[in-house]
Structure 1
Amino acid sequence: MQLLNINKQQYRERLNVVIIACIAGLTASSLVISQTLIHFIPSESGSHFHWNALGVVVSAGLLGMTLLKLKTHPKMKEVVYVWELKHALNLIYRKNRQLLEQAKLGNEQAMLALQFSYDGSRQLWQLDDNTITMDSLNRSQQQLDAWVNQYGVTLDITQYHSKILKSF
């Protein structure tokens, strides 16, 4: 995955549309499904919990399939990019301890993964206006920069790919 420049305002607008559409779609379809089931197959005990639960589960499945189909739509580009970035950062986070240990020893691939993580996190936090932990990120970046200078490594995050993580 490569980091892209994303228009923050456009991303926020499109994310809000996706969120509202998902909420509206999930609410409407779960009500329609559960009420249809209750109408055609009423419960003798008067409890329709199972039909309501089934309506929500089926609606969530339909919503998931719809999102997968719309994933390639041009208006979903920014939202899908952020979803994929979060996934890539999560994969790195799972290996963070090993990456830090190896970067400390001069492993260039570990440093590259950490640099991608720091740059991706910085972009993600700025897109989501979540700059509270930026100080922690800056301290981590300073430590990585010290290792890069110590070992004379040049990092190009365009060379990062998730297969690097398999060796850690």
Structure 2
Amino acid sequence: MQLIDIDKARYRKHLNIVIVGFISSLLVMSLLFGTLLISLFSNVGEVTALVQATIDSVAVEPETNFSYNLIGVILALVVNGVFLYKVKNSDFFTEIYYVWRVKQLQNLVYRKFKKIKLAGKNGEETALIILSFYYQSQLQVYQLDDNTITLSTIEKRLQQLNETIANTGLTISAEQFEKKLIACY
């Protein structure tokens, strides 16, 4: 995957719209599905005299509609997930989907980070390529997400990596990165 320049203002605007839309639709659809399921299948309000007498004489907890509401939330999540999956390649989602994919790759690298970092210290070219991509992508994502607290630490690590690369005499860049390189570790 190649790192590309992202318009931060457009990314933040679209991300905020997606977040508000997702939360709003999740709320509305959860209530809608829950209400629909309760009206179709629930019999909580229908208590006969015999059942009421049994409940009164025995300490029985009354039935609730929790399971129907939970199913409503799950259905709302599924509908939202399908919708996001269908529109992920649209122009509106270009930046959001790109950042999501970069974060997925960062997570894959992070899972094997100790091995990769050790190999990078030993001058292995594959590890240096992965680390170059990892640190450069972290810089980009942190800047897009306004995570300025750890930005200086990442810049320092990238500088140290670039010094290591220079000392090995290799020509390494983040553009050489491919997902399959992670499988080496």
TM above 0.5? yes
Residue 135 (structure 1) shift: 2.2
* Higher mean C-alpha deviation, range 135-144 or range 104-113: 135-144
Q: Which whole-Å CA distance do the structure 2 matches of 1:108 and 1:84 have between them?
A: 24
Amino acid at match of 2:66: F
State how 1:59-74 maps to structure 2 within 5 Å.
59-74=76-91
Residue 73 (structure 1) shift: 1.0
Where does residue 158 of structure 1 map in the other structure? 175
Q: CA RMSD in A?
A: 1.1
Structure 1: gaps spanning 5 or more residues: none
Residue 138 of structure 1, aligned match among 144, 155, 166: 155
TM-score when normalising by structure 1 = 0.96
Deviations 1:47-78 (A, max 9, x none): 11111100001111111111100111111101
Structure 2: gaps spanning 5 or more residues: 45-61
Residue 15 (structure 1) shift: 0.3
Q: Which whole-Å CA distance do the structure 1 matches of 2:162 and 2:87 have between them?
A: 40
Where does residue 20 of structure 2 map in the other structure? 20
Q: Which whole-Å CA distance do the structure 2 matches of 1:43 and 1:131 have between them?
A: 54
State how 1:99-110 maps to structure 2 within 5 Å.
99-110=116-127
Where does residue 40 of structure 2 map in the other structure? 40
Q: Is contact 2:136-2:158 (8 Å) kept?
A: no
Identity over aligned pairs, percent = 35
User: How many equivalent residue pairs?
Assistant: 168
Where does residue 167 of structure 1 map in the other structure? 184
Q: Which whole-Å CA distance do the structure 2 matches of 1:100 and 1:131 have between them?
A: 23
| Displacement over 4 Å in runs of 4+ | none
